[in-house]
């Protein structure tokens, strides 16, 4: 199973940008679809974005569509989340997660489909 480690979180002003990274260990990274989720204080963990094993397909939650971009580099075993035009409501702990490649689909995947999770990275957007 993949071990996942997120980085790149921090404090940013409204309208700013951050780029999150998620590094995976193991030798089977390209056999997984990857996702990003987030959890704000007192709220459920919610889907943000997902990317197919090859990177050719992506899907976003409506709340981030047009502002966030998910990408991956299979040679580096890394998935990224580029976040632009950040809003205070984007404040949350962001988690990357892995699911078998055949589970990818163009809808908001439930977190129960993802078997491997990182420890999370905090993003705070100040107003």
Two structure tokens written together for 75? 């040679």
Complete DSSP assignment for 1-13: ---EEEE--EEEE
Q: Which helix (H) or strand (E) holds 75?
A: none
Check residue 107 and report its DSSP letter: S
Check residue 60 and report its DSSP letter: E
32 with 25: CB under 8 angstroms? no
| The predicted structure's pLDDT at residue 84 | 98
| The predicted structure's pLDDT at residue 26 | 77
| The predicted structure's pLDDT at residue 1 | 73
The gap from C-alpha 41 to its chain's centroid, in whole angstroms, comes to 18
| pLDDT (tens digit per residue) in 77-120 | 999 999 999 999 999 999 999 999 989 989 999 999 999 999 99
For 25, residues 6+ apart whose C-beta sits below 8 A from its C-beta are: 2, 3, 4, 77
| The predicted structure's pLDDT at residue 35 | 97
Quick check: 2 pLDDT over 90? Answer: no
| pLDDT (tens digit per residue) in 26-75 | 789 999 999 999 999 999 999 999 999 999 999 999 999 999 999 999 99
Strands 46-51 and 58-60, bridge-based pairing = antiparallel
| The predicted structure's pLDDT at residue 59 | 97
């Amino acid at each position: 199973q993949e071990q996942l480690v997120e980085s790149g979180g921090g404090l940013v002003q409204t309208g700013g940008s951050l780029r999150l990274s998620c590094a995976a260990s193991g030798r089977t990274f390209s056999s997984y679809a990857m996702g990003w989720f987030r959890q704000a204080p007192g709220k459920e963990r919610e889907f943000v974005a997902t990317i197919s094993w090859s990177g050719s397909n992506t899907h976003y939650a409506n709340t981030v569509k047009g502002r966030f971009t998910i990408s991956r580099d299979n040679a580096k075993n890394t998935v990224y989340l580029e976040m632009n035009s950040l809003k205070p409501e984007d404040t949350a702990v962001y988690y990357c997660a892995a699911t078998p490649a055949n589970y990818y689909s163009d809808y908001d995947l439930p977190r129960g489909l993802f078997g491997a999770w990182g420890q999370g990275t905090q993003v705070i957007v100040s107003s």
